[in-house]
């Protein structure tokens, strides 16, 4: 165990981080198991090493109902993520992985896409509150891969990417999905749509429909994404939009 309150430990870790920056060329940090030490300590490391980007892993359980599924309201869960960023310094480079969005998406793509519209009409994860500080993901080395703890439904992974790669927040792509699952071309198409239309972490999201079998949203008035098996949505797509990407139960215009 590391005693992060020990001043010598803090000093040596800061020196190591600055060495990684100056000599090796790293310019961002990932704070593993950030629940294991206070946000005040993380702030010391960030302030004294000045990375261009920092992301924390704050993995806590969602609130579940009697049916074993997540409650619609996950405000307490995403508030914990927001609080960490607030304490570390909201104007700095600190962000957190959006575990709230991950948990809701896991269930939503299994025929419960209504979950993707929160009670306030916005996205139900951290991206609905503070998208500039939310790093979205479908799976990571803990949830997917060999550990397989809380994995995304494997036959619906591309729906997850269609969501995070068109939505606000800072999306990240899981190595396994990109290189080992044969999804590189499909993911690349979505990345190019995001890049081409300038979708960014603070893009404006308008949710058009959120039903059991259909989620439809418009981003920055430039991109429309559809998740779910419902096929006939032509009447909901404004004129002028052309198909840009599609796959199993998702489409992007």
Give the range of the structural domain holding residue 112, as residue numbers without chain letter.
Answer: 58-203
- Whether 136 is covered by a domain: the verdict is yes
- Whether 31 is covered by a domain: the verdict is no
Q: Which of 3, 12, 50, 57 is catalytic?
A: 57
- Whether 80 is covered by a domain: the verdict is yes
Catalytic (active site) residue 57: yes
- Whether 12 is covered by a domain: the verdict is no
Q: How far apart are CA 196 and CA 165, in angstroms?
A: 12
Give pLDDT tens digits for 3-58: 999 999 999 999 999 999 999 999 999 999 999 999 999 999 999 999 999 999 99
- Whether 20 is covered by a domain: the verdict is no
Position 1 scores a pLDDT of 78
Q: How far apart are CA 134 and CA 56, in angstroms?
A: 10
Structure tokens at 148: 């397989």
Q: Which of 1, 23, 32, 185 is catalytic?
A: 32
Structure tokens at 170: 């800072």
Catalytic (active site) residue 112: no
Chain centre to alpha carbon of residue 212? 22
> For residue 92, what is the domain's CATH number?
3.20.20.80
- Whether 193 is covered by a domain: the verdict is yes
Q: How far apart are CA 204 and CA 194, in angstroms?
A: 13
Tens-level pLDDT at each residue, the chain (253 residues): 789 999 999 999 999 999 999 999 999 999 999 999 999 999 999 999 999 999 999 999 999 999 999 999 999 999 999 999 999 999 999 999 999 999 999 999 999 999 999 999 999 999 999 999 999 999 999 999 878 899 999 999 999 999 999 999 999 999 999 999 999 999 999 999 999 999 999 999 999 999 999 999 999 999 999 999 999 998 999 889 999 999 999 999 9
Q: What is the pTM of this model?
A: 0.96
Domain count, the chain: 1
- Whether 158 is covered by a domain: the verdict is yes
Q: How far apart are CA 149 and CA 168, in angstroms?
A: 26
DSSP-derived 3-state class of residue 232: coil
- Whether 190 is covered by a domain: the verdict is yes
């Amino acid at each position: 165990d590391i005693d992060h309150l020990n001043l010598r430990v803090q000093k040596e870790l800061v020196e190591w981080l600055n060495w990684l920056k100056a000599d090796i060329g790293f310019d961002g940090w990932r704070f593993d198991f950030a629940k294991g030490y206070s946000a005040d300590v993380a702030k010391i490391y960030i302030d004294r090493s000045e990375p261009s980007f920092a992301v924390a892993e704050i993995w806590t359980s969602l609130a579940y109902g009697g049916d074993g599924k997540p409650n619609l309201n996950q405000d307490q869960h995403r508030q914990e993520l927001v609080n960490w960023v607030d304490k570390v310094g909201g104007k700095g480079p600190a962000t957190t992985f959006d575990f709230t969005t991950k948990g809701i998406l896991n269930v939503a793509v299994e025929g419960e896409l209504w979950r993707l519209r929160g009670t306030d009409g916005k996205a139900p994860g951290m991206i609905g509150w503070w998208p500039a500080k939310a790093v979205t993901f479908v799976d990571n080395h803990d949830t997917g891969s060999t550990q397989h703890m809380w994995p995304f439904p494997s036959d619906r992974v591309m729906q997850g990417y269609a969501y995070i790669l068109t939505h606000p927040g800072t999306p990240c792509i899981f190595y396994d999905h990109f290189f080992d699952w044969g999804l590189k071309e499909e993911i690349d198409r979505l990345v190019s749509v995001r890049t081409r239309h300038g979708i960014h972490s603070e893009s404006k999201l308008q949710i058009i429909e959120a039903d059991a079998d259909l989620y439809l949203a418009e981003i920055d008035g430039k991109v429309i994404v559809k998740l779910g098996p419902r096929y006939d949505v032509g009447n909901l797509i404004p004129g002028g939009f052309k198909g840009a990407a599609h796959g199993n139960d998702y489409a992007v215009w």
